């Protein structure tokens, strides 16, 4: 049986000028699958077994290749969009024919030139396709602890919940809305810290460092913003969390910690109207 979208060993049935025909598994010569000449080993002969990947060419015929795609059927992959059309997008997955991402399988609009996390599957017509609906293919059994640093890919943003992240491309993670201070978009790669391993195995994340380390970074952000504004920032400890998040992309508690340090170091002074550089 031929498994489209998978690597498998197939026997060379005959060799022609255009390439080698591999056993199609039906005992019907017309169902044998072409491995183009440039892919055939120089010493290949009839009866040899070759490990090949099976997909469909531009004319929808089954074809073999010895090239290794970036993903097989049933796998997740981080792939670049090379073209967008009215019916869908096409992704570079390392083969001559790009992988199709149907418009109906885009949970958000994808952009040409950007990479996204997708799942590879075979559609009802027997064609290889991709989907951005990946969460059901992610796992919750990772061996992680609070405080671990991880890498991830943003796969869905929900304004009322936060940014969902595929941790190491495999496990379900979330940057909760109340810890979501930077602008993130679907497909972004991030570095994050695990703030909680939930009972269901899902991971809560933050892109900020632990408080005492982040305070140094936040202090520099405040000073940089003040310098841009000629030494004055219209924020103080009475400002709303929303105002602070809008201007500085940090929480009010982080802002107050950083301001406290800068006041102690006598780099700024606090007034009723805001912060001033000394």
What is the tens place of the pLDDT at every residue in 23-55?
Answer: 998 888 889 999 999 999 999 999 999 999 999
Is pTM beyond 0.85 here?
no
Distance of CA 275 to the CA centre of its chain: 39
Looking at domain 76-135, which CATH architecture does it have? Answer: Beta Barrel (2.40)
H and E: helices and strands count for the chain: 3, 18
Question: Do the two domains 138-206 and 211-277 of this chain adopt the same fold?
Answer: no
| pLDDT exceeds cutoff 70 at 209 | no
Query: Are the CB atoms for 10 and 64 separated by under 8 Å?
Result: yes
Q: For 108-113, what is the mean pLDDT?
A: 96
Torsion of CA 125, 129, 133, 134, to 10 degrees: 120
Q: For 64-72, what is the mean pLDDT?
A: 96
Domain boundaries, the chain: 7-65, 76-135, 138-206, 211-277
What are the E-state strand segments in 198-258?
203-206, 232-233
| pLDDT exceeds cutoff 80 at 214 | no
Which CATH number describes the domain made up of 138-206?
2.40.50.140
The residue that leads in pLDDT, 215 or 55, is 55
| pLDDT exceeds cutoff 80 at 182 | no
The residue that leads in pLDDT, 130 or 250, is 130
49: which residues sit within 8 A by CB, 6+ positions away? 9, 10, 11, 12
- The verdict on domain 7-65 having CATH code 2.40.50.140 is yes
Range in 24-28, 84-88, 98-102 the model is least confident about: 24-28
Nearest to 57 by CA among 114, 110, 103, 18: 18
The strands making up 268-270's β-sheet, listed across from edge to edge, are 232-233, 275-277, 268-270
Query: Are the CB atoms for 76 and 166 separated by under 8 Å?
Result: yes
| pLDDT exceeds cutoff 80 at 254 | no
Confidence of residue 241 (pLDDT cuts 50, 70, 90): confident
Phi/psi of residue 230, nearest 5 degrees: 60, 40
Q: Which residue shows structure tokens 């892919």? A: 39
How do residues 131-161 score in pLDDT, each as one tens digit?
Answer: 999 999 999 999 999 989 999 999 999 988 8
Alpha carbon distance 190, 182 (integer Å): 11
The CB density around residue 70, as the number of other CB atoms within 10 Å, is 16
Give the pLDDT confidence score for residue 181 in this predicted structure.
62
CATH topology for 211-277?
Answer: Arc Repressor Mutant, subunit A (1.10.10)
Nearest to 226 by CA among 184, 252, 253, 258: 258
Give the pLDDT confidence score for residue 240 in this predicted structure.
87
| Tokens, residue 271 | 């007034």
Give the pLDDT confidence score for residue 194 in this predicted structure.
93
* % of the chain exceeding 90 in pLDDT: 60
Phi/psi of residue 165, nearest 5 degrees: -130, 135
* % of the chain exceeding 70 in pLDDT: 97
């Amino acid at each position: 049986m031929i498994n489209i979208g998978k690597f498998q060993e197939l026997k060379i049935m005959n060799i022609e000028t255009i390439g080698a025909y591999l056993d199609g598994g039906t005992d019907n010569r017309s169902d044998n699958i072409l491995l183009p000449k440039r892919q055939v080993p120089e010493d290949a002969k009839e009866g040899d077994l070759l490990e090949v990947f099976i997909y469909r060419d531009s004319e929808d015929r089954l074809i073999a290749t010895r090239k290794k795609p970036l993903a097989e059927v049933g796998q997740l992959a981080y792939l670049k969009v090379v073209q967008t059309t009215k019916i869908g997008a096409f992704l570079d997955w390392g083969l001559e024919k790009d992988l199709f991402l149907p418009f109906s399988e885009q949970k958000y609009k994808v952009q040409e030139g950007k990479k996204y996390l997708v799942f590879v599957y075979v559609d009802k017509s027997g064609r290889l396709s991709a989907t951005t609906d990946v969460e059901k293919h992610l796992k919750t059994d990772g061996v992680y602890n609070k405080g671990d640093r991880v890498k991830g890919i943003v796969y869905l943003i929900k304004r009322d919940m936060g940014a969902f992240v595929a941790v190491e491309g495999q496990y379900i993670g979330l940057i909760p809305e109340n810890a979501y201070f930077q602008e993130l978009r679907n497909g972004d790669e991030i570095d994050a810290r695990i703030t909680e391993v939930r009972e269901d195995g899902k991971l809560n994340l933050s892109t900020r460092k632990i408080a005492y380390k982040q305070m140094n970074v936040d202090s520099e952000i405040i000073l940089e913003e003040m310098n841009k504004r000629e030494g004055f920032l219209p924020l103080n400890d009475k400002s709303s969390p929303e105002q602070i998040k809008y201007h500085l992309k940090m929480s009010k508690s982080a802002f107050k910690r950083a301001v406290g340090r800068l006041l102690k170091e006598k780099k700024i002074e606090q007034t009723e109207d805001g912060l001033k550089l000394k």
